[in-house]
Chains A and B, each alone.
Chain A
């Protein structure tokens, strides 16, 4: 297991390879369908994303009695929907990593290689495992997109993820698609 702390060091990120289990500590920021489309359209990011990690997630967040935001559930959402946008956002905003589930396509894999970034896979449906490791909501932007679609800046501790696409052109998803496709063809004759 590898520990990474923010501010994240791109050289450390570049050393990661597919299959590495990583625990993240520090700041991550959520952004999914609405945010990715918004940034791709050329709108300015409400926060500096350079060196940051974007988390494809739509958390459940409520306000407690004292008015503080509390994250009640925060697993990853399906990343492939952001495939049209992600490469551009990595390039333009200087992200060092994306966290999501299910992996991404060719265009993103190419951008990871070109800009020295990685794709971290979180476990889908494991909303409590991630929620208990979120220590604080630092701030929220673009709340007008609705709570699940907003940009939530989160302080996390030992946030467990696994590298499934690295900065060297490797993708577990690409490999599995190919191997399962072969078996599928055989099965359907």
Chain B
């Protein structure tokens, strides 16, 4: 059992490191995909200009341990823990780490009361930060953090098939049509090249939650479900034909990756939920030892 007494200052330090790294450092798989995108664009185009600035930014953010993007986004902790994990103590520690990272300027003051319009100033508010738990029997404690900015969150989309406007029926051809529609509509809003997390099925809330969870997958992992693997590849190719390109300046890379999963649905419902992630895909993860120090980084 991991209880309150084990929530030592080590855990606080580990969480603060996790926040700092997530805000300032691109995950290794995203960095490789961006390098490839840069290689593929023609020199002296606006797309190449954008990718050069992005590269300079990556170097500076890592060097200064400062935010890659000023919108440090919705703070979501995904915790995979052994049985009898003390969630209350964990959350207290995580909240302290978030407040401290905000004071240091690693995180922006990003939590606004929707009724009064007042900014809490410390990133703490109703639903902020978000905590999502899963239990394991292996005894390991793994914490992933995602910082998802508002620009890309705003262009997420949920479709209910059939969709008459797009002539999209309740099959994978229909799914492809609506996902491409989401990419087309994201231009000029979410910062491309983007990454898609998609969920087929579920209900309105589980669909969105599961689509977002797909963004935790390594960009180069292989989908074990053959139909979905094929669909991921096809959508990636088609989306890159749109020519939207980096920052919507025109170019070859509009998406870096597409990650699709499916949940069961009701006979009456067929939702397709799309979470769009910008190129500044800030997610890192840590595996903690018994002493609550970081044993291993997941995406570095």
Name the residue of chain B whose CB is nearest to the CB of A104.
B188
Find out whether the CB atom of B108 lies under 8 angstroms from the CB atom of A60. Answer: yes
* Chain B count of residues within 8 A CB distance of the other chain: 59
Chain B residues whose CB sits within 8 angstroms of the CB of A179 once the complex forms: 243, 250
Q: Which residues of B contact A187 (CB under 8 A)?
A: 180, 238, 241-242
Contact of B191 among A34, A61, A125 (CB under 8 A): A125
> Once the chains are docked, how many angstroms separate the CA of A126 from the CA of B150?
15
Assess whether B280 is interfacial by the CB under 8 Å rule.
yes
When C-beta atoms are compared, the residue in chain A nearest to B52 turns out to be A123
Q: How far is the CA of A102 from the CA of B106 in the complex (A)?
A: 25
How far, in whole Å, are A74 and B105 apart by their CA atoms in the complex? Answer: 11
Is residue A72 within 8 Å, beta carbon to beta carbon, of the partner chain?
Answer: yes
Inter-chain contacts of B278 with A (CB < 8 A): 124-125
Report whether B108 and A148 are in contact in the complex, using a CB–CB cutoff of 8 Å.
yes
Contacting chain A: which of B63-71, B84-92, B137-145, B260-268? B63-71
Please count how many residues in chain A sit with their CB below 8 Å of the partner chain's CB atoms. 50
Are the CB atoms of A180 and B243 closer together than 8 Å? yes
For residue B151, CB closer than 8 A to chain A, the reply is yes
CB within 8 Å of A: which residues of B?
Answer: 46, 49-50, 53-54, 56-57, 60-61, 64, 66-72, 103-110, 112, 117-119, 121, 149-151, 154, 166-168, 176-177, 180-181, 184, 187-189, 191, 238, 241-245, 247-250, 278-280
Residues of A within 8 A of B (CB): 19, 21, 34, 57-62, 70, 72-75, 77-78, 80, 101-103, 121, 123-129, 131-132, 145-149, 160, 162, 164, 172-173, 176-177, 179-181, 183-184, 187-189
